[in-house]
Amino acid sequence: MERLTHQRVNGIKTGYWSAATKEVLVQRLAAFEDEAERRTARPRTIFEQITASPEVLGGVLASLSAAEAPWDKAFREAYCQGCGRENCDACPHEEYRNNPVWWLGLEAT
C-alpha cells in the first residue's frame, strides 16, 4: 500500500506531513477503518445478541414461562406491600407488573 504520510525529519518540526488532499486522506482512512472492522467482525453469540440492550433481554425473559420470576417478587416488594387496594386489576403500577425490563433497571443489591 502506498504511504500518504511521511515523517518530518528536517529538525525544525516533528510529526508527519502529506502532500495529499484532505479528501484523499479521509477516503484512505475510511477504507483502512472498514478493512479493520471487517477483520475483527465475528458472528455474535446468543449471549451477545440477547444482552444487546435491557429491552432485548427483557423480551427474552418475558417470553420464558415461570410460575414465580424475580421481577414478580421485586414488584410485590416495591408496590404491593402496604397497598390497601383490594382489587389489583386497577393497580396504578400495572406497567411494572410482569415487566422484566423494569426489573433490569433496578439498582442491584
**The C-alpha cell that represents 21 in the structure block:** 488532499
Residue 1 is assigned to a structural domain of this protein: no
Residue 109 is assigned to a structural domain of this protein: no
- pLDDT band, residue 58 (cuts 50/70/90): very high
Are 50 and 99 in the same domain? yes
Domain of residue 28 covers 6-40
Mean per-residue pLDDT over the chain, rounded? 85
Q: What is the average pLDDT across 41-57? A: 83
Are 78 and 97 in the same domain? yes
Are 17 and 55 in the same domain? no
Are 54 and 26 in the same domain? no
User: What is the structure's pLDDT at 60?
Assistant: 93
Domain count, the chain: 2
Burial 43-62 (b: 16+ CB within 10 A, else e): eeeeeeeeeeeeeebbeebe
Are 59 and 29 in the same domain? no
Q: Determine if the pTM surpasses 0.85.
A: no
Contact 57, 103 (CB under 8 A): no
